[in-house]
Each structure stands twice: as structure tokens, then as C-alpha cells.
Amino acid sequence: MLTLAWRSLCNRWGTVLLATLAVAMSVSLILTVEKIRREARDSFAQTVSGTDLIVGARSGSVQLLLYSVFRIGNATNNITWETTEEIKQRDAVKWVIPISLGDSHRGYRVVGTTQDMFTHFRYGRDQALKIDSGREFEDVFDAVVGSEVAAALGYSIGQAIVIGHGTGAVSLIEHDERPFRISGILAPTGTPVDKSVHVSLEGIEAMHVDWRSGSRASDGPTVESIRAMDLTPRAVTALMVGLNSRAAVFREQRSINTYQQEPLLAILPAVALQELWNLLSVAEKALFFISISVVGAGIVNLVSVLLASLGERRREMAILRATGARPIHVFTLLGLESTGLTIVGVASGLLLHYIILLTSGWWISKEYGLAIPVELPEAQDIRILAGVLLAGVIAGLIPALTAYRTSLSDGMTQRL
């Protein structure tokens, strides 16, 4: 029966190729979408890693996460510098990265921070920020830009940039009297860091040294005189905190949340990220549903091809019956053909999936900062392949049953 099924498939290689290709493309699509979905979720969850607590003004955990990590939205209030120093000096605290937001450059957020940002900030699998070219900021008016900012705006080391007041794409008020100079360009990270302009906290203070009540004085100090001033910040937007021991994280979180001097909120980044991802899970499920629908369409196409070929094979089935083949033999033959087509389609789809990853993985990493490793199929992939294979075998029973019920006289009758 296996030899007969193989020869029958070879005799109809055109329609067989189309049916196999439909199954292969649907399998490769669902595997690739599922792979990208998993990696995107892991990348999302690892946007910030190694940070034990994120501290900001009392609001909501998702809101604090959005403006401190993803640079979306604004804080309800700031944290005083005295509180920042107090948290930094705690015995359980190993390091603190202060973040000051509120300005932008041509639609990209400007982040005021310290050198600790380049020393202690981690993303992904404990990866540190790397300077692709240039150096970290040293002067008050130095700026380190993310890879996407540099690529989109065509910036290079030493170029002067003007920072605008506010966070809009178009700034009505710009600090054009005190331009910053690009001292470094960060390597791609696939995180919001790529879309940020990093300056020192002193640089943030220097921009606003002559601002009063939301407006700028007409005769402000010169750049050189500003460098000589005390530019200690009065407040920051948020803090990223690393602890000496993970065991102290809940104790420190509770201590900060009950801080008496000012209302604060401390969140665990991983918990807040999971909460935010749950809000976005509708789009994730919709994408997976579309992939399942494509697989279903491939299986339907396989059944359609097999059913369409039955009309042409009526005489073949009748000859088999006339030479002694029983209905169960015809059923087995059609079942073997559909199973073989499904197995070849699934195997081809898996191969096509790896070809897509190998050929387009570098482009996805470059354009979106999302690393797509080429790995052996995971448990979820194996379940998908098994499900497609089972669906194909079951669907193949439809033409097999149709052929089983076809009588010998029907196959010998000439249809007009």
C-alpha cells in the first residue's frame, strides 16, 4: 500500500506540490509568529533587568513603569533630591540611578541621569549599555544619544543639538541658547534607550537655570558662568534602585511605600511588566488566532485538492476494486496519501521556518532590536506541529471515506 500510495502521489505531482506547499507555508507562518511572539514577550519582560525597585511619586505601578522605563506619559510629581540622597545612603541599597524627564529633542525624550546609568543599568539577559562610538557625557553640555535617534536624525559625534521644553514632537520653546554636543552614541539595545537622549542631571539644571514660573529670563547667564554654578538638582522624576541582597526587596519596598517625608511608590519591575503585558495580551491572542486560521486554511486546501482529485480517479478506484481491492484498501490508500502529504508539509514548513529565521533574523535585530535566536523546537512548537499533523490526518479521512463509499459500478459508469 505504501508503494502504491507513493506512485499515486508521484503521478499527480503538480496538485500534490501545491497542497504540500499550502501546508508548509501555514506551518512556517504559525511557527515564525509564535517564535517572534515569545521573543518579543521575553524582550518586553527584560526591558530592564537587574533593577530590584523602581521608585517614583505615588501613583499607579503601570503608570510609573511607563514613564520611567518606556518614556511614555508623565509623572504626577517629582522626588526631592534630599529623599534621593536618603535612599542612596541606606544600608540595603547598592546603587541608585536617578532619572529626570520633562524635555525632548525632535520628539525623542531627553533623560537626565548620572554615570551610574552606564555602569549599573541592565537589559535583556544582564546586558550592559555599550557606547558604539564616542564616550559617555563628561561636560555639563554633553549628550549621549540612542542608536535609533542617531540613525533617524543622521547624527554623528561632535554634532550640536538643541533640546526643547516639553515632550511634544514640535517644541514651541527651545533651549537654543545652550546647545548640547553629542559625545557618544549607544549600541542598539532593542529597548526605549535607543529612542532617548541622555544628558547629565547637571545638564538638565543648566538648561533651566534662568527659568522662572515656566518662562525664561531675557538676559540669562553665559554657558561658562553656568559651568561654575552649583548645579545640584532639586528634584528627579524616578529612581532605579539595586539592592545588596534580593532578600531585602520586600522590606525596602514596604519602607519606601510608607515613607513619611513625601508620598512615594516602589514597584518591582518584573511584576509591573507582567501586569502591563496582560493589558496587551488581546493583541497577542489576536495574532495567534490569525496564525491558527491560516493553518486551518492550509488544511482545508489539502482536503479540497484530495476531494477534487477523486473525480479524476474514479476509474482508478474502480480498477483497484475490480482487481480485488476491498473498500478498506481504498480507504487506507487515501488515508496514507493524506498522511504523507501532511508529514511532508509539516517537515517542509519547519525547514522553511528556519530558513526565514536565518535570512531575516539579522534584519529584525537591526530594525527592531529584537534578537531571534535559531534554536531547536521548544515544547510549544512541538505541540503545534503535532496538532497540525493530527488535524491533517483527520481531515484526510474525509476524501478517504468518500472513496470508501464509492461503489465499483459508479467507477465504471461513464458520466456525461
Residues near 127 by beta carbon (within 8 Å), at least 6 away in sequence = 49, 189
- Mean pLDDT of each 10-residue bin along the chain, 416 residues long: 57 70 85 83 79 93 91 90 95 95 89 94 87 92 93 92 70 69 91 92 85 58 78 93 92 94 93 82 77 79 70 61 63 72 87 89 68 81 87 76 59 50
Per the structure block, which three cell numbers stand in for 406?
464509492
Helix (H) or strand (E) holding 47: none
End-to-end CA distance of the chain: 32
Residue 242, SS3 per DSSP: strand
Going from the C-alpha of 277 to that of each of 56, 62, 68, the distances in angstroms are 20, 10, 16
CA distance 136 to 298: 53
Q: What angle do CA 57, 58, 60 make, to 5 degrees?
A: 115
Residue 213 zone, left/alpha/beta (φ > 0; ψ -120 to 50; rest): left
327-368 vs 2-11: helix axis angle to the nearest 10? 60
CA distance 283 to 279: 9
Give the pLDDT confidence score for residue 33 in this predicted structure: 84
Give the pLDDT confidence score for residue 326 in this predicted structure: 65
Residue 102 near residue 162, CB atoms below 8 Å:
no
CA distance 250 to 179: 43
Give the pLDDT confidence score for residue 365 in this predicted structure: 67
Residue 312 has a CB neighbour count (10 Å cut-off) of 10
Residue at 401: amino acid letter: L
Residue 52, SS3 per DSSP: coil
Residue 54 near residue 68, CB atoms below 8 Å:
yes
Question: Residue 261 gets which letter from DSSP?
Answer: S
Question: Residue 167 gets which letter from DSSP?
Answer: S
Residue 409: exposure state from Cβ atoms within 10 A (0-12, 13-18, ≥19): exposed
Give the pLDDT confidence score for residue 294 in this predicted structure: 78
Residue 255: exposure state from Cβ atoms within 10 A (0-12, 13-18, ≥19): middle
Residue 215, SS3 per DSSP: strand
Residue at 312: amino acid letter: E
Per the structure block, which three cell numbers stand in for 330?
481504498
Per the structure block, which three cell numbers stand in for 336?
496514507
Per the structure block, which three cell numbers stand in for 247?
532578600
Residue 54, SS3 per DSSP: strand
The candidate with the shortest Cα–Cα distance to 93, out of 213, 240, 199, 191, is: 240
Give the pLDDT confidence score for residue 393 in this predicted structure: 80
CA distance 73 to 63: 8
